[in-house]
């Protein structure tokens, strides 16, 4: 063995692994087998943390049940803390997000990284698995089929907390504008035709309430993710685990994550079914539909400035044309529209992948994970982008808004105190 490599062995034979790598032969083969995108598991830190939390909970349960030596369990727990608390080895998860094997590559990547961190903490060299083994110790009482989906669920749930915070901040931005515009009279429209008067503040408050409803929906569906199948092992029967392991491991997972995790009612059902992902991503799709509608309205209300509605002004961020001088486009609502289209497309991916499960396992969970993490990530960024680059800077064209009211037949619906001609 040279200074630059170490030799590791698996079922298929021996391979040279970079000496400084914390991953091992299983991860190396996955790198070679899956080169679909430039997106790696390391690019999704929430997922890495979710998997490591599962391994920590498992080690804590195994320590208590004495299924692995105490010193080994302590090393695994300490290795997990190195990742969770110090960010150690977050770059050591190089497997493509698109992969076959129902997530085995992610699970083994996690096992190998934690084993090698643990070995160093014990005073050994990377790859000296006779002291701390990725399979026999880190993966003790687990299978990819329960460790991977549990880590995935924890990661998505954690990401949704950040999304909800972003939505709430966007909602508050609309609420501030609702107060600012509360006395500006404007024309309401149905089917793009003049309807009855309202205030611009009422219009913006409706945007705020719309987002408030989406927060409730996401929080309600997210709870489904906390029903986990940890302890199910391969197909849900708990093969090769003590009967006390599953409830204990889930209890430890709740302690590690701070989330109210509970064991699934039926581990066989939970191992094969992906219905929770369909429900959760359905909530993301609904949010995308609503956000896109809001952006459509913002673009329409700001159209003009001379030949459109011109009721509001969006912040001028960049030149809008290489041929038409002084043209400024609603670029932020446009990009949020496109984010929403992508999320709606991802929902079809999640739906089809969930449907593709066969018998006791759904091997398509990796693409479900890719779609869900992407949707949560881009929706979170879209909320902040829309708030900071658009909503906060919106101004109203009061005279234009009121002019439409007083030039419309809708004026007959105004209450007497405000039935007047605008001051000139």
What is d(CA 52, CA 193) in angstroms, rounded to the nearest whole number? Answer: 56
What is d(CA 10, CA 323) in angstroms, rounded to the nearest whole number? Answer: 62
The SS3 of residue 193 is strand
* Alpha-helix residue ranges (DSSP H) falling in 122-199: 144-180
> Is 321 one of the annotated active-site residues of the chain?
yes
The SS3 of residue 258 is coil
What is d(CA 154, CA 111) in angstroms, rounded to the nearest whole number? Answer: 17
DSSP 422: P
Phi and psi at residue 361, to the nearest 5°? -155, 145
* Alpha-helix residue ranges (DSSP H) falling in 244-364: 245-257, 267-272, 275-301, 331-355
Which string of DSSP letters, residue by residue, matches 349-393?
HHHHHHHT-BTTB-TTHHHHHHHHHHHHHHHHHHHHHHHHHTGGG
Catalytic residue among 321, 322, 408, 421: 321
In this structure, how many other beta carbons lie within 10 angstroms of the beta carbon of residue 185? 19
* 408 contacts: CB under 8 Å, gap ≥ 6: 187, 194
CA 198 to chain centre: 37
Q: Catalytic site residues?
A: 321
């Amino acid at each position: 063995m040279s200074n630059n490599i170490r030799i590791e062995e698996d079922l298929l034979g021996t391979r040279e692994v970079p000496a400084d790598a914390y991953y091992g032969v299983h991860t190396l083969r996955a790198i070679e087998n899956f080169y679909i995108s430039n997106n790696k598991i390391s690019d999704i830190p929430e997922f890495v943390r979710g998997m490591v939390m599962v391994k920590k909970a498992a080690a804590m349960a195994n320590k208590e049940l004495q299924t692995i030596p105490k010193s080994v369990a302590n090393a695994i727990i300490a290795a997990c803390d190195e990742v969770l608390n110090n960010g150690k080895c977050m770059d050591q998860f190089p497997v493509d997000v698109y992969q076959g094997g129902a997530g085995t590559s992610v699970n083994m990547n996690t096992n190998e990284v934690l084993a090698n961190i643990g070995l160093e903490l014990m005073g050994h060299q990377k790859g000296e698995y006779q002291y701390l083994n990725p399979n026999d110790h880190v993966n003790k009482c687990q299978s990819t089929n329960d460790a991977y989906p549990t880590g995935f669920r924890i990661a998505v749930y954690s990401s949704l907390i950040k999304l909800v915070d972003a939505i709430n901040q966007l909602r508050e931005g609309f609420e501030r504008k609702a107060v600012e515009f509360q006395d500006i009279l404007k024309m309401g429209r149905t089917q793009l035709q003049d309807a009855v008067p309202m205030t611009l503040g009422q219009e913006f408050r409706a945007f705020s309430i719309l987002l408030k409803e989406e927060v409730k929906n996401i929080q309600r569906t997210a709870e489904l993710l906390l029903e986990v199948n940890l302890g199910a092992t391969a197909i849900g029967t708990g093969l090769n685990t003590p009967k006390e392991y599953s409830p204990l491991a889930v209890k430890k997972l709740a302690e590690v994550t701070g989330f109210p995790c509970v064991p699934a009612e039926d581990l066989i059902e939970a191992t094969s079914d992906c219905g929770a992902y369909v429900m959760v991503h359905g909530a993301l799709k609904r949010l995308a539909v609503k956000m896109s509608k809001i952006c459509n309205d913002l673009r329409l209300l700001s159209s003009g400035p001379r030949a459109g509605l011109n009721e509001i002004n969006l912040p001028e961020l960049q030149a809008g044309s290489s041929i038409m001088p002084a043209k400024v486009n609603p670029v932020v609502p446009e990009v949020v529209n496109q984010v929403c289209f992508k999320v709606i497309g991802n929902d079809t991916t999640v739906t089809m992948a969930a449907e593709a499960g066969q018998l006791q396992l759904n091997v398509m969970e990796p693409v479900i994970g890719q779609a869900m993490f992407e949707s949560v990530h881009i929706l979170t960024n879209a909320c902040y982008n829309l708030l900071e680059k658009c909503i906060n800077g919106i101004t109203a064209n009061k005279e234009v808004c009121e002019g439409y009211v007083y030039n419309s037949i809708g004026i007959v619906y105004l209450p007497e105190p405000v039935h007047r001609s605008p001051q000139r």
